[in-house]
Structure 1
Amino acid sequence: MSKYLISFPSAAMVVPDDEWQEVGRAAHAVIEEAKAAGVYVFAGGIDENTAPALVSADGTVEEGGYPWAPPLDGGFTVLELPSRADAIAWAARLAKACRCAQELRVFMIDPQL
């Protein structure tokens, strides 16, 4: 079993104001299905009202993330699944619920952890 990250940036969600509640219900329903199926690990979104902090190896803290990197925002779901095909199927369910394409990535697991 591998853990898969299913995610989207905030800008990908273009939803009319009067449809946000329905999108939320649909997305939560998919997450509840993942929990019931025993594949749910974690889900949530980046709090865009709180700035990131860049913490250096010496402990120095700067406000903001890497200046050269695009901002990290949006929603994330981590599921533990037996195959990439299963991960694609769950990503498709989330894409339909959220009304936007989802990026799919697999975590590399360090066997020493």
Structure 2
Amino acid sequence: MAKYLISFPGAAMVARGDELEAAGRDSRAVIEAAKAAGVYVFAGGLDESVRPVLVSADGTIREGGYPWGPSLDGGFTVLELPTREDAIAWAARIAKACRCAQELRVFMFDPAS
């Protein structure tokens, strides 16, 4: 089985007020369903109030992430699933619950993980 990253950037979350509260409730329900199905690996969002640091190979530390890259924020879910079709189906459930589109990516296989 492969591990899939289902994610969205913070700017994609446009729900506000009661709709945001409902999105939180509904997305937690999907995560509980993933746990019950035995496919859940990890989920969460990055704390955007804490700035990233870039740690170089020589140990040098610099405030901020890669200067040429996009900001990494938003919500992330990792599920372990047998097929891409299953991953798409779970991504659709998460998208519906979160009220925003989800990006789906597959992790490269690593026999040590």
TM-score by length of 1: 0.97
Report deviation, 1:22: 0.7
Could you give the per-residue CA deviations for residues 18-69 of structure 1, whole angstroms, max 9, x where no partner exists? 2211110000000000000000000000110000010000000001000000
**What stretches of structure 2 of length at least 5 have no aligned partner?**
none
- Cα distance in 2 between the residues matched to 1:53 and 1:41: 26
Could you give the per-residue CA deviations for residues 57-113 of structure 1, whole angstroms, max 9, x where no partner exists? 000000100000010000000000000000000000000000000000000022355
Query: Which residue of 2 is the match for residue 47 of structure 1?
Result: 47
Query: Which residue of 2 is the match for residue 84 of structure 1?
Result: 84
Q: How does 1:56-71 map to 2 (within 5 A)?
A: 56-71=56-71
Question: Which secondary structure does the structure 2 equivalent of 1:29 belong to?
Answer: helix
Question: Which secondary structure does the structure 2 equivalent of 1:4 belong to?
Answer: strand
Identity value in percent: 75
Query: Which residue of 2 is the match for residue 105 of structure 1?
Result: 105
The alignment status of 1:75 with 2:75, answered yes or no, reads: yes
Alignment size in residue pairs: 113
Amino acid at match of 1:4: Y
Question: Which secondary structure does the structure 2 equivalent of 1:20 belong to?
Answer: helix
Question: Which secondary structure does the structure 2 equivalent of 1:86 belong to?
Answer: helix
- When structure 1 is superposed on structure 2, of 87-96 and 7-16 the one drifting more is 7-16
Alpha carbons of structure 1 residues 34 and 51: separation in structure 2 relative to 1, 3 Å: same
Report deviation, 1:16: 2.4
